Amino acid sequence: MRRSNIALAVGAGLLASGVQALAADPLAQADVVSAIGLARVADEVGDSTLASWLKSPARRDLALTAVRASPFAWAPERLVVQLAPVLCGRDPILAPEASIALVQIAERLQPSLLAAREAASYDVKMAREALACVKQQPSPRADLMASAMLLDAALAQLTAPQ
Protein backbone atom coordinates (compact mmCIF):
# COMPACT_ATOMS: atom_id res chain seq x y z
CA MET A 1 0.00 0.00 0.00
CA ARG A 2 2.72 2.37 0.95
CA ARG A 3 4.81 1.59 -2.15
CA SER A 4 1.91 2.35 -4.46
CA ASN A 5 1.40 5.75 -2.83
CA ILE A 6 5.07 6.54 -3.26
CA ALA A 7 4.97 5.37 -6.87
CA LEU A 8 1.92 7.54 -7.54
CA ALA A 9 3.56 10.55 -5.93
CA VAL A 10 6.75 10.07 -7.94
CA GLY A 11 4.75 9.55 -11.15
CA ALA A 12 2.69 12.68 -10.52
CA GLY A 13 5.86 14.65 -9.83
CA LEU A 14 7.47 13.45 -13.05
CA LEU A 15 4.33 14.27 -15.02
CA ALA A 16 4.15 17.75 -13.52
CA SER A 17 7.81 18.43 -14.26
CA GLY A 18 7.31 17.20 -17.83
CA VAL A 19 4.36 19.54 -18.33
CA GLN A 20 6.36 22.45 -16.91
CA ALA A 21 9.30 21.64 -19.18
CA LEU A 22 7.02 21.48 -22.21
CA ALA A 23 5.48 24.85 -21.32
CA ALA A 24 8.94 26.38 -20.85
CA ASP A 25 10.42 24.81 -23.99
CA PRO A 26 8.08 24.40 -26.96
CA LEU A 27 10.50 22.00 -28.61
CA ALA A 28 10.99 19.68 -25.65
CA GLN A 29 9.03 16.81 -27.17
CA ALA A 30 9.12 17.85 -30.83
CA ASP A 31 10.73 15.92 -33.65
CA VAL A 32 12.63 18.65 -35.48
CA VAL A 33 14.59 16.41 -37.82
CA SER A 34 12.05 14.57 -39.97
CA ALA A 35 9.74 16.27 -42.45
CA ILE A 36 6.69 14.92 -40.61
CA GLY A 37 7.98 16.27 -37.31
CA LEU A 38 8.70 19.68 -38.81
CA ALA A 39 5.26 19.80 -40.40
CA ARG A 40 3.76 18.98 -37.03
CA VAL A 41 5.76 21.76 -35.35
CA ALA A 42 4.61 24.23 -38.01
CA ASP A 43 1.02 23.16 -37.52
CA GLU A 44 1.13 23.25 -33.73
CA VAL A 45 2.93 26.56 -33.22
CA GLY A 46 1.46 28.39 -36.22
CA ASP A 47 2.85 30.83 -38.75
CA SER A 48 2.96 33.81 -36.40
CA THR A 49 5.11 31.95 -33.87
CA LEU A 50 7.46 30.76 -36.61
CA ALA A 51 7.73 34.35 -37.83
CA SER A 52 8.54 35.59 -34.33
CA TRP A 53 11.22 32.92 -33.92
CA LEU A 54 12.74 34.07 -37.22
CA LYS A 55 12.56 37.80 -36.45
CA SER A 56 14.39 37.82 -33.16
CA PRO A 57 16.37 34.65 -32.76
CA ALA A 58 17.05 34.94 -29.04
CA ARG A 59 17.45 31.19 -29.08
CA ARG A 60 19.31 29.75 -32.01
CA ASP A 61 17.56 26.38 -31.66
CA LEU A 62 14.17 28.06 -32.10
CA ALA A 63 15.44 30.02 -35.10
CA LEU A 64 16.81 26.84 -36.69
CA THR A 65 13.56 25.00 -36.07
CA ALA A 66 11.57 27.89 -37.53
CA VAL A 67 13.75 27.92 -40.63
CA ARG A 68 13.34 24.18 -41.10
CA ALA A 69 9.58 24.26 -40.43
CA SER A 70 8.87 27.28 -42.66
CA PRO A 71 8.15 25.27 -45.84
CA PHE A 72 5.40 23.45 -43.93
CA ALA A 73 3.68 26.64 -42.72
CA TRP A 74 0.12 27.42 -43.70
CA ALA A 75 1.31 30.39 -45.79
CA PRO A 76 5.04 29.89 -46.37
CA GLU A 77 5.25 32.82 -48.78
CA ARG A 78 4.58 35.13 -45.83
CA LEU A 79 7.60 33.75 -43.96
CA VAL A 80 9.96 34.60 -46.82
CA VAL A 81 10.10 38.15 -45.45
CA GLN A 82 11.73 36.77 -42.28
CA LEU A 83 13.73 34.03 -44.04
CA ALA A 84 15.47 36.38 -46.50
CA PRO A 85 17.48 38.24 -43.83
CA VAL A 86 18.51 34.89 -42.36
CA LEU A 87 19.67 33.77 -45.80
CA CYS A 88 21.56 37.02 -46.37
CA GLY A 89 23.05 36.89 -42.89
CA ARG A 90 26.45 35.53 -42.09
CA ASP A 91 25.39 32.69 -39.80
CA PRO A 92 27.19 29.54 -41.03
CA ILE A 93 24.34 27.26 -39.89
CA LEU A 94 21.17 29.31 -40.38
CA ALA A 95 21.98 30.77 -43.83
CA PRO A 96 22.39 27.39 -45.59
CA GLU A 97 19.32 26.07 -43.77
CA ALA A 98 17.36 29.09 -45.00
CA SER A 99 18.57 28.32 -48.50
CA ILE A 100 17.16 24.80 -48.27
CA ALA A 101 13.88 26.15 -46.89
CA LEU A 102 13.55 28.64 -49.76
CA VAL A 103 14.05 25.88 -52.33
CA GLN A 104 11.43 23.75 -50.58
CA ILE A 105 9.00 26.66 -50.56
CA ALA A 106 9.65 27.21 -54.28
CA GLU A 107 8.92 23.54 -54.98
CA ARG A 108 5.65 23.62 -53.03
CA LEU A 109 4.21 26.87 -54.36
CA GLN A 110 1.37 26.11 -56.74
CA PRO A 111 -1.15 28.56 -58.12
CA SER A 112 -4.04 26.24 -57.22
CA LEU A 113 -2.95 26.05 -53.57
CA LEU A 114 -2.54 29.82 -53.32
CA ALA A 115 -5.96 30.31 -54.89
CA ALA A 116 -7.54 27.72 -52.59
CA ARG A 117 -6.44 29.59 -49.48
CA GLU A 118 -6.93 32.97 -51.10
CA ALA A 119 -3.33 34.09 -50.68
CA ALA A 120 -2.82 37.81 -51.10
CA SER A 121 -0.71 39.03 -53.98
CA TYR A 122 0.68 41.54 -51.48
CA ASP A 123 2.39 38.69 -49.60
CA VAL A 124 4.00 37.44 -52.81
CA LYS A 125 5.15 40.98 -53.64
CA MET A 126 6.65 41.44 -50.17
CA ALA A 127 8.43 38.10 -50.43
CA ARG A 128 9.99 39.10 -53.75
CA GLU A 129 11.12 42.42 -52.30
CA ALA A 130 12.69 40.67 -49.30
CA LEU A 131 14.67 38.39 -51.60
CA ALA A 132 16.37 41.45 -53.09
CA CYS A 133 18.80 41.32 -50.15
CA VAL A 134 20.92 38.87 -52.16
CA LYS A 135 21.75 41.69 -54.59
CA GLN A 136 23.20 43.91 -51.86
CA GLN A 137 26.80 43.91 -50.70
CA PRO A 138 28.19 41.84 -49.16
CA SER A 139 26.39 39.31 -51.28
CA PRO A 140 25.85 35.81 -49.94
CA ARG A 141 27.54 32.73 -51.34
CA ALA A 142 26.57 31.69 -54.86
CA ASP A 143 24.58 28.65 -53.72
CA LEU A 144 22.56 30.75 -51.30
CA MET A 145 21.95 33.35 -53.99
CA ALA A 146 20.81 30.65 -56.41
CA SER A 147 18.14 29.39 -54.00
CA ALA A 148 16.83 32.91 -53.53
CA MET A 149 16.69 33.44 -57.28
CA LEU A 150 14.88 30.11 -57.72
CA LEU A 151 12.18 31.17 -55.28
CA ASP A 152 12.00 34.62 -56.83
CA ALA A 153 11.38 33.04 -60.24
CA ALA A 154 8.65 30.83 -58.78
CA LEU A 155 7.01 33.84 -57.14
CA ALA A 156 7.28 35.83 -60.38
CA GLN A 157 5.42 33.10 -62.24
CA LEU A 158 2.64 33.24 -59.67
CA THR A 159 2.14 36.96 -60.16
CA ALA A 160 2.57 36.99 -63.94
CA PRO A 161 -0.61 37.72 -65.88
CA GLN A 162 -2.05 34.55 -67.37
DSSP state of 139: P
Instruction: Give per-residue pLDDT as tens, 93-117.
Output: 999 999 999 999 999 988 888 888 8
- pLDDT above 90 covers what percent of the chain? 54
Q: Which residue has the higher pLDDT, 34 or 5?
A: 34
pTM above 0.85, yes or no: no
Comparing C-alpha atoms, which of 118, 123, 109 is closest to residue 158?
Answer: 109
Domain ranges of the chain: 1-26, 31-159
Q: 29 falls in which pLDDT band (50, 70, 90)?
A: low
- Please tell me the predicted confidence (pLDDT) of residue 26: 62
Crossing angle between the packed helical segments 121-130 and 142-159, to the nearest 10 degrees = 160
**Is the pLDDT assigned to residue 9 strictly greater than 60?**
no
What pLDDT is stored for residue 158 in this prediction? 81
Indicate whether 56 pLDDT > 80. Answer: no
Q: At what angle do helices 94-108 and 142-159 cross, to 10 degrees?
A: 30
CA distance linking residue 150 with residue 156, whole number of Å: 10
Q: What is the mean pLDDT of the chain?
A: 83
Check: CB of residue 63 under 8 Å from CB of residue 91.
no
Whether the predicted pLDDT of 75 surpasses 90? yes
Please give the pLDDT value at position 119: 81
pLDDT in tens, 81-94: 999 999 998 899 99
Residue 10 burial (CB < 10 Å; 0-12/13-18/19+)? exposed
Cα–Cα distance, 118 to 137 (Å, whole number): 35
- 36 near 42, Cβ under 8 Å? no
Specify the pLDDT at position 112: 85
Q: What is the pLDDT of residue 159?
A: 75
pLDDT at residue number 137? 87
pLDDT band at 16 (very low <50, low <70, confident <90, very high): very low
Is the Cβ–Cβ distance between 114 and 67 less than 8 Å? no
